[in-house]
Amino acid sequence: MKKLSTVALLLALSFVAAVAAVRMTKAGSARDDKPAAVALGAIVPDFTLPDPDGRQHTLASLKGKNGTVLIFMATRCPVSNGYNTRMEKLAEDYAARGVNIVGINANSTEPAGEVKQHAAEKGLTFTILKDEGSRIADRFDAQVTPETYLLDASGKLVYHGRIDNSRAGDAITSNDLRDAIEAVLAGKPVQKSEAKAFGCSIKRG
């Protein structure tokens, strides 16, 4: 009799454990509905994306000697467009200092041809990749344009967020991305590793 109860108890307990496990998994995924995002302080895993001409690039091949900036950007978002000149200036200013700027367009509404034309019209000379299906945006959990990610020389994510605090560019009092790049170049820890801003949502397919 005792044996039977014990078996029943064990069975029931394993059922409870299973239910709890399922619930916990569900709760975990319900919180963000996405796979785990790239985390601050962690090495960013390599990925491959095409440029608007269809040439494939790996992150490894685009890494700067001293660091890499990934910028999720758009062709039609007024906030992203407000930063075109500043993004190009970043690429110019830091190329010689070993920090490479890479744009990523993850908007399902903006095809590769439009990305290419937009870059030509706005004079953007840095590499821009097309993230079809927003696969890489999902991996970074990028939400808006422009949204930037700074990787140090080792490929570790050390800053995530806005370029600066002024969408119009006329009242910059906090140059968050540049400050982070300068810290990386100086071999110092990044003081402010995250700075959110309002922007256009990335249009996922």
Partner 1 sequence: MFEARTNMRRILLAVVSLGAALACVGGPGARNGDANAATDSARAAQGASKPSAAKPSSDAAGVPKVTEIKEDGLKTLLNAGAGRERPLLVNFWATWCVPCREEFPDLLKIKGQYPADRLDFVLVSLDDASEIGKAVPEFLTEVKATSLPTYLLNAADEGAAINLVDPQWGGELPATFLYDRAGKLVFKHKGAIRPEELRAAIEQSLGAKPSEAGSQK
- Asked if 173 is part of the footprint of partner 1 (rule: CB under 8 A), the reply reads yes
CA 97 to chain centre: 22
Residues numbered 44 to 103 that lie near partner 1 (CB under 8 A) are 76, 78-79
Q: How far is the CB of 4 from partner 1 (least distance, A)?
A: 6
Q: How far is the CB of 31 from partner 1 (least distance, A)?
A: 7
Round to whole Å and give the CA distance between 145 and 1. 67
Question: Tokens in use for 26?
Answer: 């569900």
- Asked if 168 is part of the footprint of partner 1 (rule: CB under 8 A), the reply reads yes
- Asked if 143 is part of the footprint of partner 1 (rule: CB under 8 A), the reply reads yes
Nearer to partner 1, 121 or 194 (CB): 194
Q: What is the dihedral of CA 77, 83, 89, 94, to 10 degrees?
A: -90
Round to whole Å and give the CA distance between 121 and 52. 14
Question: Tokens in use for 68?
Answer: 């890499």
- Asked if 24 is part of the footprint of partner 1 (rule: CB under 8 A), the reply reads yes
Pick from 164, 168, 167, 138: which is nearest to 72 by CA? 138
Point out which residues bind partner 1 (CB under 8 A): 1, 4-5, 8-9, 12-13, 15-16, 19-20, 22-24, 26-28, 30-32, 76, 78-79, 141-144, 147, 161-162, 165, 167-168, 173-174, 194-202
